[in-house]
A and B are shown apart, each in its own frame.
Chain A
Amino acid sequence: MKDRLLLSVWLVAVVGITFIHDPVWLGGLLLLAFALAGKATPALLKRALIAIALVNIAVSAGFVISASLAGEPWGLFVMRLNLRVLLLTFLTLWLARHLDLVRAVDFSRSLQFVVVLALGQIKTFQRMLTDYRMAFRSRSLGRPDLKTRMRSAGRQAGALLEKAELQATEVNLGMRSRGFFDDRA
């Protein structure tokens, strides 16, 4: 219940923020978000800044240059864009830290199963990819050329695809053997 409420409040907040255009309000809300995050603020802020830096710097710098050349004002836009994007990213990262997604989607049993299974499979696939990459690196004396790297990437993705097909069958059999589909009938 708590997670569902958290998710709902966050959704409303995120949509609401996109209707706010005054930098003063956006700045005030950002300070409120910092207060809400408490001790986690520096870590979350650092992650949020890293996440948005490239996009925001590119857009802001591009706008500053084009507006300056045209002799138009740019300050308000740059503040608005950066505060809004930072606020939205900060709130999302804060949510990611507090939300138990599996509990948040407990209104639908099927969706909950999809999320649980997908999260488990993501970990399996990521481990597998890491193993492949490390094995490839350990077998390469120098930096492999583009063709070799491309072939390796192709094999990695191919192995993932094969593993995915096998895992789907395996998980399905596991669910059937545990009576999941009997309960639904």
Chain B
Amino acid sequence: MHIPDGLIAPQVYLAAYAAAAPAWAWAVRKVARDFDETLIPRLAVLTALAFVLTTVMIPLPGGTSGHVIGVGLLALAFGIWPAFLAYSLVLVLQSLLFGAGGITVLAVNALAMGLAGAAVTVGVHRLLVGWRKPVAVIVGVWCGVVVSAVLVALVLGIQPLMGSDASGQPLFFPFGPAVTLPVIVIPHLFIGAGEAVLTWMVLSVTERRRVPA
């Protein structure tokens, strides 16, 4: 789902960096407080886990690609802030080591998928967990994926407003929300469902196999 370099206007991605910077700072503080000396190994292993979970990519029409995001699983297993940090590091590694995704749009992708996706997943899960656990996991992860897709679609969809040249042709991504929302969100309704079921299967398997301390 994440946006590649070159499609987003600087005024949007720089604003996203300005918004993401305090979120990253808060996440580091929060995770450092919760994990103390285990922070470094846990964060590294979480990053590796998130990276491997996101290696399966499904290209989608309309300027983007789809894959198992893995943020829902990370958020439910370890919390919102570790998931956000780990996913942000994954985006850095993907960009710098493999040329996938992009560094300019890193903050947009991290906020949309790493933070909003994790927060929505955990929020919905908390709302529903008292009722039925599998439903809470499935609906929570699905909502997280769909909300992330909506945010990415909206960010792409506002690009035509970011300027055009003398002949009226757009400077960045050319299609508005009327195109980006259906093109990106509709496939993610299905990708989200697949990811939600997968997450539920993973969590139920690990719960069954967990040895009590």
Binding site for B on A (CB under 8 A): 7, 11, 14-15, 17-19, 21, 47-48, 51-52, 54-55, 58-59, 62-63, 67, 72-74, 76-77, 80-81, 84-85, 87-89, 92-93, 95-96, 99, 101, 110, 113-122, 124-126, 129, 150-151, 153-155, 157-158, 160-162, 164-165, 167-169, 171-172, 175-176, 181
Contacts and interface: CB of A to CB of B under 8 A. Distances in A.
B96 A99 contact: yes
Nearest to A54: B59
Nearest to A63: B174
Interface residues of B, number: 64
8 contacts: A18-B9, A19-B10, A62-B179, A118-B45, A118-B93, A126-B55, A168-B41, A172-B41
Contacts of A153: 198, 201
B100 interface: yes
Contact of A122 (B8, B52, B102, B175): B52
A129 B194 CA distance: 19
B99 A175 contact: no
B104 A14 contact: yes
B38 A14 contact: no
A59 B45 CA distance: 36
A176 B37 contact: yes
Interface of B: 4-10, 13, 37-49, 51-53, 55, 59, 61-65, 73, 77, 89, 93, 95-100, 102-104, 165, 167-171, 173-175, 179, 194, 197-199, 201-203, 205-206, 209
A15 B201 contact: no
B41 A175 contact: yes
B96 A172 contact: no
B102 A88 contact: yes
A168 B46 CA distance: 8
A11 B202 contact: no
B203 to A, nearest CB: 8
A18 B104 contact: yes
A150 B198 contact: yes
A158 B100 contact: no
A167 B206 contact: no
Contacts of A125: 48-49, 51-52
A181 B36 CA distance: 10
Contacts of B170: 77
Given A114-B43, A150-B198, A164-B48, A89 B99 contact: yes
Given A151-B201, A172-B37, A161 B77 contact: yes
Contacts of A129: 52
A164 B45 contact: yes
A99 B6 CA distance: 21
A90 B98 CA distance: 11
B100 A51 contact: yes
Given A88-B5, A118-B89, A76 B100 contact: no
A171 B43 CA distance: 11
Given A96-B97, A153-B198, A172-B41, 11 more contacts: A18-B9, A18-B13, A47-B99, A55-B59, A58-B63, A62-B62, A121-B44, A121-B45, A121-B48, A154-B198, A171-B44
